[in-house]
């Protein structure tokens, strides 16, 4: 059975995530705010900026790769866009990287890795 490819980092498809949570937000200019009349004025510079929280259950090989990606200043990411239901290109960086041993095995364990991708 085929599954949806949710994330691709630098042209390398990532394994199927345990969880995938995407949020889209707007970037506003500093010139916005509240007017003298008490109404809110928004000066939106950019819409649909992605913020993706994701977690994986991975082998030691993938743990090493994901840890290396977490240290990069930026990554060319293709992510599953919920608006178009297709992969969308973006430059992102990793924040909040966490790795935890899920189960000890004879080959360095099964790991749970979670992090947040933020669009640049």
Which pTM value belongs to this model? Answer: 0.82
Rounded Cα distance, 65 and 86, in Å: 24
pLDDT tens-digit map of 34-62: 777 778 777 777 778 899 999 999 999 99
pLDDT tens-digit map of 85-107: 999 999 999 999 999 998 877 67
pLDDT-derived band of residue 2, with 50, 70 and 90 as boundaries?
Answer: low
Rounded Cα distance, 20 and 55, in Å: 7
- Cα of first residue to Cα of last residue in the chain, in angstroms, is 34
Rounded Cα distance, 43 and 33, in Å: 8
Give per-residue burial for 80-92: e unless 16+ CB within 10 Å, then b: bbeeeeeeeebeb
- What share of the chain in percent tops pLDDT 70? 94
Rounded Cα distance, 88 and 110, in Å: 30
């Amino acid at each position: 059975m085929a599954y949806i490819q949710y994330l691709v980092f630098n042209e390398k498809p990532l394994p199927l995530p345990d969880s995938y949570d995407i949020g889209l937000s707007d970037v506003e200019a500093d010139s916005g705010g509240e007017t003298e009349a008490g109404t809110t004025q928004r000066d939106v510079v950019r819409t649909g900026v992605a913020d993706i929280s994701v977690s994986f259950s991975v082998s030691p090989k993938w743990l090493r790769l994901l840890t290396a990606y977490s240290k990069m200043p930026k990554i060319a990411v293709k992510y599953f866009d919920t608006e178009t239901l297709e992969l969308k290109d973006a430059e992102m960086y990793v924040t909040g990287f966490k790795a935890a041993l899920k189960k000890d095995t004879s080959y360095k364990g099964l790991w749970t890795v979670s992090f947040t991708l933020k669009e640049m």
